[in-house]
Structures are given as structure tokens and as C-alpha cells.
Amino acid sequence: MEESKTLPLLTAEEIRILGVLMEKSKTTPEYYPMTVNAITVACNQKTSRKPIVQYDDQTVTLVLDTLKRKGLISTATGGSSRAIKYKHNFAIAFPVLPAEVSILCLLMLRGPQTPGELNTNSGRLYEFESLEEVQSVLERLSNPELPYIIQLPRKAGQKETRYAHLLGGIPDLTLLEQEIDSYSKPPGELELRLAKVEEELATLKADFDKLMKELMG
């Protein structure tokens, strides 16, 4: 990580879209870079997203333009599709390691989490060998020279510390704790299965859109 850089101050929409690009580059590399429509679908997933949002293609397009001006994403063309596709440049603008990208991505898409939750949720992004490795990554990301994340104060009765990203600035701790309380229930088997189905449907929709563009010539 470069110590001379400063983190950008991003909006909630920018954080969600950048996080989606970071996530899909690892979980579905065969459909990456991504079209505007595919990004919209991924942003609006009902699982693995906190909070749940409902963006449209126009909103996503406008936010992509701002992220591009900030140097955090770029466009990609070529291949059989004429559609403009997008990819993230976060690991270029801020040369973080793959393990660090996965932690940031999870915090951007799912909100504050404990080391144990990050270890559980990271499976498709990065295979951590142990909880200790997760802790080591969190320590690197908390480096005071260029902190990417912040350790949240423990509330009474909490056993584990939660971490939040700093890409939107210093979080409002009162508001953040209210949000954490509202979605602190761990994901069950049904939710995990639903997440897989949603991702498969998004992939099928992207395939269909690609086929229709090719047929329309």
C-alpha cells in the first residue's frame, strides 16, 4: 500500500457500484468487465447487500461517470459485444493486495462486520487460511499512515469488534450502530441459497442481453 495517497470521499452510490465491480471481478470473472445493466442488477441484489437498494440504469450510468473521472474505474471494449463495459481500478489507484481488496469489498457491500463474519463471507472472494490471517489483513488496512478501515467501539455485551471502511469518510457511529442492529442476524441456509439463485439469474440475464444485441446487429 502506498502511504503518499489519500482515500477518495465517495457517496453511498459510488461505494455500492465500486464494491460490485470489485466483487464480480472475483466471483464471476467470465462476465467481467460488466455492462451497465449487469451492474444495476448486482447493485440491487436482495442478498449479500446491506442496505438493500433499488437503482436504475440511469443512476448507475451517472455514478459510473463520476467514478471514471476519479480514476477508480475504466471502460473496456472489444469482443463480440458492442456494449460498453466497466472494470474497477482500485488495486491500481491504491495497490492493495488481493486479500485486502476482498475485505474492503465485503465492508463496502455488507456494512460493518466482525473478523469472524469477514472470514465466513469471504469464501468466493479470497480463501483465508485462518482467522488470524483475517486479523493480520485488518491490521494492515488500519495502518495510521493510510487507514482504509476503522475499528468500531464495542457495545456492552459484544464479544467481537466490528470494522467499517472509510471510503465514505468517518462514519456516524450512532447511525451506524442503528443500522448494524437492524441487520445483525447471520445469514441462514435459505439466504445463502437465494444469493446463489440471484447471481445465476443475473448471469442468465447478462447472457440474454448479449445475445439480443448480437442478433439485433
| Residue 168: domain span | 98-175
Mean of the per-residue pLDDT values of the chain: 87
Report yes or no on 105 lying in a domain. yes
Report yes or no on 4 lying in a domain. no
Q: Are residues 118 and 166 in the same domain?
A: yes
Q: Are residues 150 and 217 in the same domain?
A: no
CATH number of the domain residue 71 falls in:
1.10.10.10
Residue with cell 480514476: 71
For residue 77, what pLDDT is reported?
A: 76
For residue 3, what pLDDT is reported?
A: 45
For residue 182, what pLDDT is reported?
A: 55
Considering its fold, how many domains does the chain have in total?
2
How confident is the model over 135-193, as pLDDT tens digits?
A: 999 999 999 999 999 999 987 777 889 999 999 999 876 665 655 555 555 555 666 66
Report yes or no on 1 lying in a domain. no
Q: Are residues 192 and 87 in the same domain?
A: yes
Q: Are residues 35 and 90 in the same domain?
A: yes
Burial of 126 (0-12, 13-18, 19+ CB in 10 A): buried
% of the chain beyond a pLDDT of 70: 76
Q: What is the mean pLDDT of residues 96-107?
A: 98
Q: Are residues 67 and 104 in the same domain?
A: no
The C-alpha cell that represents 85 in the structure block: 463495459
Q: Are residues 104 and 171 in the same domain?
A: yes
Alpha-carbon distance of 166 to 49, in angstroms, equals 18
For residue 106, what pLDDT is reported?
A: 98
Nearest to 90 by CA among 75, 76, 105: 105
Q: What is the mean pLDDT of residues 81-100?
A: 93
Pairing state between β 73-76 and 85-88: antiparallel
Report yes or no on 196 lying in a domain. yes
Q: Are residues 63 and 140 in the same domain?
A: no
Q: Are residues 75 and 135 in the same domain?
A: no
Alpha-carbon distance of 86 to 21, in angstroms, equals 8
Report yes or no on 2 lying in a domain. no
Alpha-carbon distance of 151 to 138, in angstroms, equals 9
pTM for the whole thing? 0.81
Q: Taken in order 23, 25, 29, 33, is the CA torsion positive or negative?
A: positive
Alpha-carbon distance of 200 to 155, in angstroms, equals 38
Alpha helix ranges (H) inside the chain: 12-27, 36-43, 57-69, 90-93, 98-110, 115-121, 131-141, 173-182, 189-216
Phi and psi dihedrals of 145, rounded to 5?
-65, -35
Q: What is the mean pLDDT of residues 85-89?
A: 97
Residue with cell 490471517: 133
Report yes or no on 156 lying in a domain. yes
